[in-house]
Amino acid sequence: MIAFRDKKGQLQQAWEYKVGGVIPGSAVVGRDGNIRVHSGDGMFHCLTADGNTVFAPIDIGEPLGWSSPVVDDDGTSWVSRHEGGITKISATGTTERSAFFRSRQRFDSTGVVKNGMLYIGAEDAFVYAIKLAGLKGKNIWDHANHRGKTDWFINSAPAYHPRDLIIVAARDEHLYAFETDGAIRWKIHIRGQMLGSPVVADDGTVFVGVSLLERGHEPVGKIVAVDSDSKQIIWEYQTKGPVESTPVIGEDGILYVGDNSGTIYALEHGGRLQWQKDVKVPIRSSGNIISPGRVVFGSDDGTILCLLCTSKSVSQQGWGRYMG
């Protein structure tokens, strides 16, 4: 893992920390400023902002390909287990060998912690709402009555809508909005695969990237904007390549996203193009605004790209980026 600092518009390496395997998920920063990663050798690492270990690495088993650790306000980490269920790791590095939440289902997605609940998608096509209080977790959504049900498995991370909705992009070509009790508020068909995660603007508009792969045709993509009040698609922007990247929304409402053709886009309200930049290498990572006027993406060749933009920060009122 490598950390960079922004020095007058130039990214400079601050430190490097070696682990024993690839890191399939994202590095996650908690409110305490510490960084968590789950590496391919099965070890869970917690580092300070300066790259020093908070506690010794913990062997929690092999990571899943789509999942990243989730950290709550107390610094507790919640990690999807390869064999199914959820592991709990305290802010000081204590954990139990057995799962905090036991399940045969694998949660091969990144969850969201909100109001003492972990909302996370599973391979059985359900979203789980796991209550985190107590010694063991409990799913409070009644799956027998189809609460939290989609029609295929879920890999992307949910977004928490400011109107207390859980927005989920499932692999069944549908975007879902669930109430906090698991009931479906709305369900919208979006043709193509949503491989990134949805984000939500200040006004409640939901954005998600789409990949369209049809036999005999060149792969293409688009950004879709959904009005959560009318439950309708209000605009689409056609991109040059499939979109697996999760967009990031600036505080000025500009949306930034990359595609597999190697193009990064800045889209204004209504889907108008502000600018685009051809960087020649596919962009599948989520974007982030690291400082005023600086938006960052990672490319498939391992390059970190920092571009000038009009946004000063990430949108704070909605769900402006991957994992909120």
- pLDDT score for 9: 67
DSSP character at residue 318: T
Q: Provide the residue ranges of all domains of the chain, joining segments of one domain with +.
A: 190-324
Q: CA 266 to CA 297: how far, in whole Å? A: 13
- Residue 72 · residue 78 · CB < 8 Å: yes
Q: Take residue 255 and report the two structure tokens written for it.
A: 């949306």
The H-or-E segment that residue 4 falls in is strand 2-7
Q: pTM of the entire structure?
A: 0.96
Q: Take residue 227 and report the two structure tokens written for it.
A: 């009005």
- pLDDT score for 220: 93
DSSP for 81-139, please give it: -TTSSEEEE-TTS-B-SS-SB--SS---S--EEETTEEEEE-TTSBEEEEE-SSSS-EE
- pLDDT score for 135: 94
Phi, psi of 98 (to 5 degrees): -80, 160
Show the beta-strand stretches assigned E in 132-287. Answer: 138-139, 159-161, 165-169, 174-178, 184-189, 199-200, 206-212, 220-227, 232-239, 248-249, 255-258, 263-267, 273-278
Q: Which CATH number fits domain 190-324: 2.40.128.630, 3.10.580.10, 3.90.1580.10, 3.30.390.30?
A: 2.40.128.630
- pLDDT score for 213: 87
Average pLDDT per 10 consecutive residues for the chain, totaling 324 residues: 82 93 95 97 98 98 97 97 98 96 97 97 98 96 98 97 97 98 97 97 97 87 96 97 98 98 96 98 96 95 94 96 94
